[in-house]
Structure 1
Amino acid sequence: MNTAPLRLFWWCPSRHLPALRAEIKGSARAWCHLRAQSGRWLKNFGDELSPIVLQHLTGREVVWAPPRRADAIGIGSIIEYFHKHRGSDALVFGSGLRGSVEGTGRGLNRSLGPIVGLRGPLSKEQLGVEPCFLGDPGVLVGDVYGAHRTVRKVLNGQVILIPHFRAWQSKQDRLHISSVENLGVRIVSPASSPEVVLGEIRAAQLVLTSSLHGLICAHAMGVPTQFFSMARDVANSEPTFKFDDYLATIHAGWKLGNLSTDFNEFKRTPQLVFDRAVEYGGIALERTEFMREEIKSSVNGNL
Structure 2
Amino acid sequence: MNIRANLRRLINEVGCDFVQQLPYPHVELFFWRPDDGTINFGDYLSLVVVEQQLRRSGYTLADETSRQARMFAIGSVLHYARNDDVIWGSGINGRQGQNDLNRRVQTLDIRAVRGPRTQEILRRRGLSVPDIFGDPALLLPRLFPDRFQRRGVRPWIFVPNLHDLNMIDHGPANVVSPLGSWNRRIEAILEAELVLASSLHGLIVAEAYGIPARYVRLSDGEAEFKYRDYYEGTGRFDVEFASSLEEGREMGGAAPLSFKHDSLMDAFPIDLWRETR
Paired letter, 2:120: E
Q: Judging changes above 3 Å, is the alpha-carbon distance between structure 1 residues 261 and 292 closer, same or farther for their aligned structure 2 residues?
A: same
Cα offset, 1:300, TM superposition: 4.1
Matched positions, count: 238
Paired letter, 2:161: H
State the partner residue of 1:280.
256
**Residue aligned with 1:226, SS:** strand
Q: Judging changes above 3 Å, is the alpha-carbon distance between structure 1 residues 89 and 57 closer, same or farther for their aligned structure 2 residues?
A: same
CA distance in 1, matches of 2:49, 2:139: 7
State the partner residue of 2:121.
126
Paired letter, 1:50: S
Cα offset, 1:255, TM superposition: 3.1
Structure 1 position 43 matched with structure 2 position 39: yes
State the partner residue of 1:249.
233
Gaps of 5+ in 1: 14-19, 21-30, 32-40, 64-68, 267-272
Larger helix proportion, structure 1 or 2? 1
Structure 1 position 211 matched with structure 2 position 206: no
State the partner residue of 1:192.
180
- Contact 1:132 / 1:294 at 8 angstroms: preserved in 2? no
1:43-77 CA-to-partner distances (Å, cap 9, x unmatched) read 211110111111111223236xxxxx752111111
State the partner residue of 2:53.
57
State the partner residue of 1:135.
134
**Residue aligned with 2:119, SS:** helix
TM-score, length-scaled by structure 2: 0.73
State the partner residue of 1:96.
91
1:130-169 equivalences under 5 Å are 130-131=129-130, 133-146=132-145, 157-168=154-165
Identity %: 27
TM-score, length-scaled by structure 1: 0.67
**Residue aligned with 2:88, SS:** strand
- Contact 2:203 / 2:215 at 8 angstroms: preserved in 1? yes
- Contact 1:149 / 1:222 at 8 angstroms: preserved in 2? no
**Residue aligned with 1:72, SS:** strand
Cα offset, 1:139, TM superposition: 0.5
Paired letter, 1:159: W
Paired letter, 2:136: P
1:111-150 CA-to-partner distances (Å, cap 9, x unmatched) read 43x1001111111111113225111111112224448999
Structure 1 position 294 matched with structure 2 position 270: no
> Alpha carbon RMSD of aligned pairs, Å?
3.3
CA distance in 2, matches of 1:205, 1:290: 29
**Residue aligned with 2:164, SS:** helix
CA distance in 1, matches of 2:209, 2:272: 25
Q: Judging changes above 3 Å, is the alpha-carbon distance between structure 1 residues 218 and 94 closer, same or farther for their aligned structure 2 residues?
A: same
1:243-301 CA-to-partner distances (Å, cap 9, x unmatched) read 111111123233343324315525xxxxxx35xx4x424x23xx111111221545445
- Contact 2:148 / 2:187 at 8 angstroms: preserved in 1? no
